[in-house]
Amino acid sequence: MYAKTLLLVSALAVLSFLPVAILKQETKPPVLSPSPKGKTAIRISESSYKNLFNGDVKVNNLKVDGDTAGYSVWLNRKNSNENRQSRIKAKYIARKIDNTTVADRYRSAKKGKKMILCCAGGYMSDCSSPTTPIGLCVDDGNIVNRTFGTDASGKDMNAIVIVEAIGGIRVKDIRKGINLVSLNRKVFIRQCNDDLNTFLKWCISENVWLFQTHLLAYDKELKVNVNATNATSRERRLLAAVIDPNNDIYHILFNLSSKHLSIPKFTEGVFNYLNGKNMEVVWIVNLDSGCGDFFQLYDENGNEDSNVKGAESLDQTINLLCYYYE
């Protein structure tokens, strides 16, 4: 199993993805870079909306500075008090097989699973004629895209999101290299072409699923320019992995749908909010809320929530990150 061969983050961070076009019509990701804390940080708050799947999924109303802003979905990935691993698993779909589209592959997979939520993962390469996700992308060992992703300014996207065959998600900061234990070597895939070729061969042999996106926070540190003056405000979707004071592990999807913010400001607000709850922020990544903005939440009976959803249809998507209950 390939999960055993990769040393990416702390073993506690068996978590997960992301992408966003600046406008629905734009195809390039936004500009992001490190910076000190902003002068006018937003305030995030939550209130309960519903609990699902035996309480392992908690959906909250999301507010920004007291105003309704969207929803957050808390996915319990490990409950330390009960000494058990979560029944919540992740799945990634990113390529068309013959005449079967990503959307059709998802419809087929959904029939045999209790789906919790599904949303777009990596950024879309072309809104008018979508082809492949921007940045490195692999689907079950099949190379979908081997070109590194950059944002609108040409700066690198630094998150590699790996979805494991066992249903976990790990995130790696591409700048720090990737340890391939089975090969007894660390690869720096952006700096060295030989390392990239080695890594892609490993992905094929180990049947890996992965995509590239913006790394917004990593190892308890913000990685965005919170004082950016040229950052566009719009709908946003972030995925965070955290460890709470009881050592429980959560993946949290923050879906900003009824209020517009820049990625840096939204990320800073989420980061401060989680820290205020004494959560250890393992990582935060960006997910696509642009022209590939599909997002749907389900209950235990497979019913769609009409409130918690994205603006685009399933058939508009070219890659999907999903969670299901096992």
With contact defined as beta carbons under 8 Å apart, do 168 and 156 qualify?
A: no
At residue 205, what are phi and psi to the nearest 5 degrees?
-70, -30
Q: Which of 257, 286, 235 is nearest to 71 (CA)?
A: 257
Q: Which two tokens stand for residue 44?
A: 């995030």
HEC profile of the chain: CHHHHEECCCCCCCCCCCCCCCCCCCCCCCCCCCCCCCCCCCCEEEEEEEEECCCCEEEEEEEECCEEEEEEEEEEEEECCCCEECCEEEEEECCCECCECHHHHHHHHHCCCEEEEEEECCCECCCCCCCCECCCEEECCEEEECCCCECCCCCECCEEEEECCCCCEEEEEHHHCEEEHHHCEEECCCCCHHHHHHHHHHHHHCCCEEEEECEEEECCEECCCCCCCCCCCEEEEEEEEEECCCCCEEEEEEEEEEEEECHHHHHHHHHHHHHHCCCEEEEEEECCCCCCCCEEEECCCCCEEEEEECCCCHHHCCCEEEEEEC
Q: Which of 149, 107, 139, 136 is nearest to 294 (CA)?
A: 107
Q: Which two tokens stand for residue 14?
A: 């068996």
CA distances from 133 to 29, 30, 100, 232, 313 (A): 11, 15, 17, 21, 17
Q: How far apart are CA 171 and CA 210, in angstroms?
A: 9
Give the per-residue pLDDT at 180: 87
Split into its structural domains, the chain has a count of 1
Give the per-residue pLDDT at 32: 52
Give the per-residue pLDDT at 153: 72
Q: Which residues of the chain have pLDDT under 50?
A: 1-27, 33-38
Give the per-residue pLDDT at 44: 97
Give the per-residue pLDDT at 29: 63
Give the per-residue pLDDT at 83: 60
Give the per-residue pLDDT at 28: 52
Query: Domain range spanning residue 296?
Result: 2-325
Q: How far apart are CA 283 and CA 13, in angstroms?
A: 9
Give the per-residue pLDDT at 202: 93
Which positions ≥6 away from 249 have C-beta within 8 Å?
12, 13, 14, 15, 76, 77, 78, 86, 241, 242, 243
With contact defined as beta carbons under 8 Å apart, do 50 and 69 qualify?
A: no
